[in-house]
Amino acid sequence: MKKIISIAVGMALLAGATAAAQSTSKLTATKASEYGLIYTLPVTAFDVTIAVEKTVKTPGDFYQYAKKYLSTVPILAPSTSWRITEAVINAVALADEEQRYLVTLKGGNGAYVMVNDENFPLAINDEGYDGAPDLSPLPAAVAPEPTVLQRPVAQQAVTPEMIQSRSSAKKAELAAAKIYELRGNRNEIISGQADAMPSDGAAMKLALEQLSAQEEALTAMFLGTTQTSVEVKTFRVYVPEEGEPERMIVARLSAVDGLVEPADLSGDPIYVTVTPTSYGKLPVNDKGVTKSFPKGGVAYRIPGTARVTLQYDGNTLCQGDFDVAQYGAVFGLDPDLFTSKKSPSYLHFNPLTGGIRELGAIAQ
C-alpha cells in the first residue's frame, strides 16, 4: 500500500460528524481502477455536550401585598439563574489528510472496502457491518412551559371588580378575597355541603380542578412565578498537540446568557482535560525488534488512550477513557489476507480511530 501525501495538510482537522450519522459506500477493487482503493484514516476529537437548566423568576403584580393577605414571602425581584444538570463526552472522528492510503487488493475475487462519507474505512469484505460507534446518549433540550399567569385560566380567575378597579391595593384585596372564596367552595364540594353539588365523580373532579387552577393563578399574582427550561449545547474539543496544555476551557457559564464560548469572559470557565494514559506501539517480533510495515499493507491504527475529564467550579461533571488515534501508530496487514480465493478474510475497523475491531475468515 502506498501512502498518499495530501496537498491540503492544513485541512487535517476539518469538523466531521460521527460515523453513526454517516452513509456508507462500497469501493470494489476492479481492473478498471487497477485494483487500487483509497481511504483516509481518522484522528480523534471530542464533542462535549452540556445541558443547563434555566430558571426565570418573576414577581407577581401584587407581590407587596403577599405577606399581608397570604402570610407568605413572595418573589421580590425578577431573576434568571443557570445550573449545569448534565454533561456528556463523546469521541468523534475527523479526517487526517496526512494519513491517506492507496491499497491494492488484486486477486480476482472482488475484494472491496466499505467507507463512510468522510472516506474513513469501516470494513473490508463485509458489506453488512454497521460500524456505528458506541456513543453516550445526549441530554434533551426542554422548552419553557407557560406559567399559570400566561395561561387562559389567569384571565378566568380575574373578577369584573378587579378589572374595574384602578387601585392596585384594591385589586390585591379583591384577589385575596377571591382566593379564600375558591378555597371555601372547594371545601364545600369535598365535604358534600355545596348548594350545587357536581352530578358525578367526573364532574366533581373537573370542578375541583377548575377551582384549584383559578386559585393557583390568583396566588401567583401575589407570590410570582418560576419558569424552567433546559438548553443543550455541544462544543468541539481537539486533542492537544505534544507540548500543549492538557487542560483547556471548553465553554463558560454566564449568569446572564447561560453557556457561552470560551472567549466570552462574562462566564465562569468550564474546563476539559485530555490526559494521555497509554500510547499505541508498533508490533515486535519474537526478538523484540519492531516489525516492518508489510509490503502493500492495509493500513490501520494502533491507538493510544486518554482520560477526558470535564470540570466546573472545582467539581467533576463527567469523565471517561477513550481510544485516541493520535496517541497511536500506523501499521499494516498483508493484503493477501483479503484476496485469497480459498480463504479470504474480513476486517472491521473502529470508525473513530481506524483501529481493528475484528479480523477473521469469511465462512465458505
pTM of the entire predicted model: 0.83
The reported pLDDT for the residue numbered 16 is 35
DSSP 5: -
Residue whose C-alpha is closest to residue 100's, from 201, 2, 214, 34: 2
Residue whose C-alpha is closest to residue 24's, from 135, 118, 105: 118
Per-residue pLDDT tens listing for the chain (364 residues): 433 322 222 222 223 333 344 588 887 766 656 666 788 999 999 999 999 999 999 999 999 999 999 999 999 999 999 999 999 999 999 988 788 887 877 766 778 888 988 889 999 999 888 888 889 999 999 999 999 999 999 999 999 999 999 999 999 999 999 999 999 988 888 888 777 787 788 888 888 889 999 999 999 999 999 999 999 999 999 999 877 888 999 999 999 999 999 999 999 999 999 999 999 999 998 888 999 988 778 999 999 999 999 999 999 999 999 999 999 999 999 888 888 888 889 999 999 999 999 999 987 6
279: burial class by Cβ within 10 Å (0-12, 13-18, 19+)? middle
The reported pLDDT for the residue numbered 9 is 23
The reported pLDDT for the residue numbered 22 is 58
The reported pLDDT for the residue numbered 144 is 96
The reported pLDDT for the residue numbered 28 is 75
The reported pLDDT for the residue numbered 199 is 76
The reported pLDDT for the residue numbered 10 is 25
The reported pLDDT for the residue numbered 27 is 76
Evaluate whether 100 touches 25 at the Cβ level (below 8 Å).
no
Instruction: Write out the DSSP string of 124-177.
Output: ES-TT-------PPPPPPBPPPPPGGGSHHHHHHS-HHHHH---HHHHHHHHHH
Evaluate whether 73 touches 59 at the Cβ level (below 8 Å).
no
Distance from the Cα of residue 251 to its chain's centroid:
14
The reported pLDDT for the residue numbered 107 is 67
The reported pLDDT for the residue numbered 31 is 62
Exposure string (b/e) for 7-21, b if CB count within 10 Å is 16 or more? eeeeeeeeebebbbe
